[in-house]
């Protein structure tokens, strides 16, 4: 159990366009999901915490108007990168907490989405 | 501030044992996690420690000393597939995961 999927797994887009990344919990309900970004050879950087039915909580330095997060249901959270720039090229990973499974507050990760902006 | 330190890179030989250390300074402590991340993939859970001591799980063991703010991940009988980055993460007082930069482990035949 506790499977998290992401779509797409990779995407190439042109500068100035928007890209939507979906994160789904396949066999459980996720009230809280997390969005991370990881640049090459660096650790995970938490971008925002997404709560079902409410506004996301963004980390300092993350532009909420650029990285739109919607957590409209208990199984789906989306991240939209608006007006993408080449510096937004990165590996975006979502995760979810499943309080009833695994270690307390363990996070289950999706497979990640590699975004390349040309 | 909150800080997690772990070595950037380590090299070991197939069949050997390697210990990856992690020291932390965080606002509160609700457990320490070790994750494995292969290049281009998402992290996968390895272990969780919240009490002092050693947790053993097959070839992998994880140790925690809360008084010293210290943990290590011990990998035995190393296999080539163990080549990956190993991430140490601490759950702080708000149950937020604070991540280390990761240790890239290179296994040589």
For B29-64, what is each residue's pLDDT tens digit? 999 999 999 988 888 989 999 999 999 999 999 999
Does B64 touch chain A if contact means CB atoms closer than 8 Å?
no
Of A27-36, A73-82, A96-105, the least confident: A96-105
Of A2-6, A82-86, B91-95, B97-101, the least confident: B91-95
Distance from CA of A77 to the nearest CA of B (A): 17
Q: What is the largest CA-CA distance in chain A?
A: 42
Does B26 touch chain A if contact means CB atoms closer than 8 Å?
no
- Model confidence at A100, pLDDT cuts 50, 70, 90, reads low
Residue to substitute from A34, A92, A105, A116, interface B, most B β-carbons within 10 A? A105
B101 CB neighbours in chain A (<8 A) are: 42-43
- Model confidence at A102, pLDDT cuts 50, 70, 90, reads low
Does B42 touch chain A if contact means CB atoms closer than 8 Å?
yes
- A109–B96 CB contact, under 8 Å: no
| pLDDT computed for residue B2 by the predictor | 82
| pLDDT computed for residue A112 by the predictor | 93
Does B69 touch chain A if contact means CB atoms closer than 8 Å?
no
pLDDT of A1 > 70? The answer is no
List CB contacts of A80: < 8 A, sequence separation 6 or more.
A18, A19, A20, A21, A67, A68, A69, A70
Cα–Cα distance measured from residue B70 to residue B68, given in angstroms and rounded to the nearest whole number:
5
């Amino acid at each position: 159990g506790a499977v998290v999927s992401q779509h797409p797994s990779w995407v190439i887009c042109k500068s100035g366009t928007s890209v939507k990344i979906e994160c789904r919990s396949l066999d459980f309900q996720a009230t809280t999901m997390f969005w991370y970004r990881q640049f090459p050879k660096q650790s995970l950087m938490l971008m925002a915490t997404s709560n079902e039915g409410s506004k996301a909580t963004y980390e300092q330095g993350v532009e909420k108007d650029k990285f739109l997060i919607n957590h409209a249901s208990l199984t789906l959270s989306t991240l939209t990168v608006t007006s993408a720039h080449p510096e937004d090229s990165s590996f975006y990973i979502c995760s979810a907490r499943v309080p009833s499974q695994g270690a307390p507050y363990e996070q289950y990760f999706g497979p990640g989405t590699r975004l390349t902006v040309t | 501030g909150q800080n997690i330190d772990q070595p950037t890179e380590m090299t070991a030989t197939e069949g050997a044992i390697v210990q990856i250390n992690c020291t932390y300074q965080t606002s509160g402590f609700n457990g320490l996690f070790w994750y494995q991340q292969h290049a281009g993939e998402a992290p996968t859970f390895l272990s969780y420690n919240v009490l002092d001591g050693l947790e053993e799980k097959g070839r992998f063991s994880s140790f925690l000393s809360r008084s010293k703010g210290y943990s290590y991940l011990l990998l035995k009988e190393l296999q080539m597939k163990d080549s990956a980055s190993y991430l140490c993460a601490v759950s702080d007082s708000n149950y937020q995961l604070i991540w280390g930069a990761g240790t890239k482990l290179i296994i040589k035949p």
